[in-house]
């Protein structure tokens, strides 16, 4: 693992500490539920992890601040959804809903994909939320500029089967869900927009140098939801889960480029694309196991990811009997199985003798123990960045250049999935 500067990790440990305090709920995907929504297109700024700002156009919830990405709209299939768009930008704006059928627009002026709201004007979109799944929405007016400027977000349609299902299919049940909206930006275009120099913008030459997950770049992805440092970027991209849990990973391509989304720690199973289950008829399963999913712009994917100790060959909890027994003696002593363990590896110690500390070079997340939730002696000044002994797995764009912000690593499209010891996270409502 590449060396990470300490000041970036302070963010991380503060997040982990805060989120893991007993009684703190781990949020389901934050968003607004409507089904009547009022969005305003307005200007704002976002913060890149080097501390700089980028001027944005984005959607706000009602009279609130512009946010990037746009508010995640969460509805249930069959609901009649209305989205009223008020335009406070100096140009026409609109919203299109790929994957939805029968979207009607009232008010506004006819545009090339739907009705636009003129500056100062409004338009209302109405549709019946179609099949459940993960979808995207964005401006249909000059999208090559307006999607770049930030007018893009996610739409989630929950199935009637229940909020812990991705689709009306028992196989899509999950314990926890996370949304990843992937995008990139060419900041000089934003500067020209801010200066009103639209004639000097050549969108065919867009060249991104900043990449984002849920609107945050680099280590900022792990700061909490609604962290006040990011008044226009309310969504975190940190994924927390416990061993054995089924995690639904919703992926949305929100920029203009394709991003190879690479999830360390285990394969994931892609169960749906563009809001449609990868299944034929009732029984033919077309889902795919992968460790990288190429998320193209405008596309969506749903995947199930899980971490267990299967096939590790050792007990990742480091179970021992009451008198320190390991192996069969520990099993015979009746030490209980914990979530995510495989019976075959229960009580088996790690089959290597850890080297002496003086022979090791430490990553900042090493606890001194190889076991989940464990801790061990570390030289002074090392460790402390993984207080609950989680197993961290980087989830990131595998186009390595996209792990930078303005050419500086770490940055860009990266975040972590933390497998934390069981009992630390509340179940998702």
Which residues contact another protein (rule: CB under 8 A)?
96, 98-103, 109-114, 142-145, 147-148, 201-206, 253, 256-258, 273-276, 278, 280, 284, 286, 294, 296-299
The smaller minimum CB distance to another protein, of residues 105 and 330, is found at: 105
The smaller minimum CB distance to another protein, of residues 298 and 411, is found at: 298
Q: Between the CA of residue 179 and those of 27, 156, 247, 249, 419, what are the distances in Å? A: 11, 10, 11, 6, 17
Q: Between the CA of residue 116 and those of 34, 84, 103, 149, what are the distances in Å? A: 21, 11, 14, 17
DSSP letters for 376-404: ----TT---S-TT--EEEEEEESSGGGG-
Q: How far is the CB of 362 from another protein (least distance, A)?
A: 42
Q: How far is the CB of 149 from another protein (least distance, A)?
A: 12
- Adjacent-strand bridge partners of 303: 249, 270
Q: How far is the CB of 409 from another protein (least distance, A)?
A: 25
* Token representation of residue 289: 């196991």
The smaller minimum CB distance to another protein, of residues 280 and 323, is found at: 280
CB 412 within 8 A of CB 182: no
Query: CA 216 to CA 412: how far, in whole Å?
Result: 8
Backbone angles phi, psi at 413, to 5 degrees: -90, 75
Q: How far is the CB of 276 from another protein (least distance, A)?
A: 4
Q: How far is the CB of 410 from another protein (least distance, A)?
A: 26
CB 335 within 8 A of CB 347: yes
The smaller minimum CB distance to another protein, of residues 196 and 351, is found at: 196
Q: How far is the CB of 365 from another protein (least distance, A)?
A: 35
The smaller minimum CB distance to another protein, of residues 93 and 239, is found at: 93
Q: How far is the CB of 192 from another protein (least distance, A)?
A: 12
Q: How far is the CB of 110 from another protein (least distance, A)?
A: 3
The smaller minimum CB distance to another protein, of residues 50 and 257, is found at: 257
The smaller minimum CB distance to another protein, of residues 240 and 277, is found at: 277
The smaller minimum CB distance to another protein, of residues 98 and 188, is found at: 98
Query: CA 60 to CA 361: how far, in whole Å?
Result: 47
Q: How far is the CB of 270 from another protein (least distance, A)?
A: 12
CB atoms within 10 A of CB 21: 8
The smaller minimum CB distance to another protein, of residues 186 and 220, is found at: 186
Query: CA 200 to CA 134: how far, in whole Å?
Result: 36
**Closest to 6 measured CA to CA, from 362, 417, 413:** 362
Query: CA 390 to CA 166: how far, in whole Å?
Result: 27
Query: CA 93 to CA 95: how far, in whole Å?
Result: 7
Q: How far is the CB of 141 from another protein (least distance, A)?
A: 10
- Do strands 73-76 and 152-158 pair parallel, antiparallel, or not at all (unpaired)? parallel
The smaller minimum CB distance to another protein, of residues 40 and 142, is found at: 142
DSSP letters for 123-160: EEEEEE--SSEEEEEE--SSHHHHHHHT-EEEEEEE-T
């Amino acid at each position: 693992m590449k060396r990470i500067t300490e000041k970036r990790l302070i963010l991380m440990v503060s997040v982990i500490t805060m989120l893991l305090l007993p009684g703190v709920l781990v949020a389901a995907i934050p968003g607004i539920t409507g089904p009547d929504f009022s969005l305003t297109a307005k200007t704002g700024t976002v913060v890149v992890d080097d501390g700089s700002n980028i001027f944005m156009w984005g959607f706000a919830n009602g009279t609130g601040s512009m946010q990037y990405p746009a508010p995640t709209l969460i509805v249930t299939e069959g609901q009649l959804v209305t989205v009223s768009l008020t335009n406070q930008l100096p140009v026409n704006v609109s919203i299109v809903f790929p994957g939805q059928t029968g979207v009607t627009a009232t008010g506004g002026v006819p545009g090339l994909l739907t009705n636009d709201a003129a500056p100062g004007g409004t338009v209302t979109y109405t549709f019946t939320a179609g099949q459940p799944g993960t979808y995207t929405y964005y401006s249909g007016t000059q999208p090559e500029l307006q999607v770049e400027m930030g007018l893009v977000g996610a739409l989630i349609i929950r199935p009637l089967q229940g909020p812990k299902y991705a689709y009306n299919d028992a196989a899509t049940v999950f314990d926890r869900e996370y949304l990843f909206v992937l995008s990139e930006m060419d900041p000089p275009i934003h500067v020209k927009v801010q200066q009103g120099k639209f004639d000097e913008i050549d969108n065919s030459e867009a060249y991104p140098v900043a990449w984002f997950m849920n609107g945050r770049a680099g280590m900022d992805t792990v700061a909490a939801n609604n962290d006040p440092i990011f008044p226009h970027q309310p969504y975190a991209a940190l994924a927390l889960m416990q061993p054995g849990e089924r995690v639904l990973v919703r992926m949305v391509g929100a920029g203009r480029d394709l991003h190879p989304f690479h999830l360390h720690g285990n394969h994931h199973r892609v169960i749906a694309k563009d809001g449609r289950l990868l299944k034929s008829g009732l029984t033919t399963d077309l889902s795919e196991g992968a460790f990288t999913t190429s998320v193209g712009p405008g596309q969506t994917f749903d995947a199930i990811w899980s971490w267990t100790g299967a096939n590790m060959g050792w007990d990742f909890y480091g179970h021992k009997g009451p008198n320190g027994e390991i192996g069969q003696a520990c099993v015979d002593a009746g030490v209980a199985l914990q979530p995510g363990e495989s019976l075959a590896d229960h009580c088996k110690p790690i089959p290597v003798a850890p080297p002496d500390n003086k022979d090791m070079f430490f990553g900042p997340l090493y606890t001194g123990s190889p076991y989940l939730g464990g801790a061990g002696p570390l030289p002074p000044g090392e460790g402390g960045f993984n207080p609950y002994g989680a197993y961290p797995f980087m989830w990131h764009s595998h186009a390595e250049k996209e792990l930078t912000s303005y050419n500086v690593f770490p940055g860009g499209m990266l975040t972590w999935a933390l497998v934390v010891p069981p009992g630390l996270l509340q179940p998702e409502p």
